Amino acid sequence: MHVIIRQYEEECGVTVADIVDRAVRSGPATLGLATGSSPLSVYRELIRRHREDGLSFADAQAFLLDEYVGLPPSHPQSYANVIRAEFTAHVDIDDDRVYGPDGVGDDIATAATEYDVLLAESGPVDVQLLGIGANGHLGFNEPGSSLGSRTRVATLTEQTRTDNARFFDGVDDVPRHVITQGLGTIGAARHLVLIATGEHKAAAVAAAVEGPVTASCPASVLQLHPHVTMVVDEAAAARLEDADFYRYAMRHPAPLHG
Ligand code: GLP
């Protein structure tokens, strides 16, 4: 796992945007997009590069991590709408090639399975953006999620509903159920890139990077993946015991060849 510590959130966004930029410029890319506050600095930087530096997403396709059950794509807080508003509407990606789980159909359990199959057939995802919940969740895989789980309908913890209430009129409006890519589904991506900022993420980041691999901290499954980059600001890095070594490794990166 490669841990990159930056001082500020916007610097984290630029670092992650560099990774996406490289993938998109090197051929038709399959991107995994996350919602929530954490990737917003990444999307701002990618939109800027699209407008000012000619970064084109015309050959890319994208898959969302998760979706609320019961919110149609027209709902302001559906993740289908959020990703459009925060990112995809501002770049030249084809709207029909931005896929997400269907949270409003008659049979959402089957829709979840079909989304998993679609991802497997269209993937692998080249770069998967991830945030982390304060309880260590990835996507909407709450503590207790099987480390090999697939895309499915899941129940949110009250903590996550409370954390996400800021996007709604109140906690009562936050759906209790979601469709989320499973941890096994997420792990099929070639490169997992997690961004975390702020001291409220420090405990989850430390558990994910340095704690035991356990379903109690779903993000700890990242330790089993061959290519993970964790980009954190100083506040989110505050509880990492080996932060000095991660900084040292940043100054002395392992040579790629020879
Ligand atoms: C949300 C999303 C996750 C996100 C996490 C953190 O509920 N489902 O994909 O990473 O919680 O959110 P934020 O980045 O707003 O802190």
Cα of 35 vs centre of ligand 1, distance in Å, is: 6
Which ligand 1 atom lies nearest to the CA of residue 132? Answer: 10
The 10s digit of each residue's pLDDT in 214-239 is: 999 999 999 999 999 999 999 999 99
**What confidence tens digit (pLDDT) does each residue in 84-130 have?**
999 999 999 999 999 999 999 999 999 999 999 999 999 899 999 99
Tell me, using a 6 A CB cutoff, whether residue 46 lines ligand 1: no
| Under 8 Å between Cβ of 160 and 139 | no
What is the CA(258)–ligand 1 centre distance, in A?
A: 39
pLDDT at 168 over 90: yes
164 lines ligand 1 (CB under 6 A): yes
| Cα separation, 2 vs 37, whole angstroms | 22
**CB of 131 closer than 6 angstroms to any ligand 1 atom:** yes
Q: Which positions ≥6 away from 244 have C-beta within 8 Å?
A: none
Q: Please indicate whether residue 34, judged by its CB atom, sits closer than 6 Å to ligand 1.
A: yes
Q: What is the pLDDT of residues 49-64, one digit of tens each?
A: 999 999 999 999 999 9
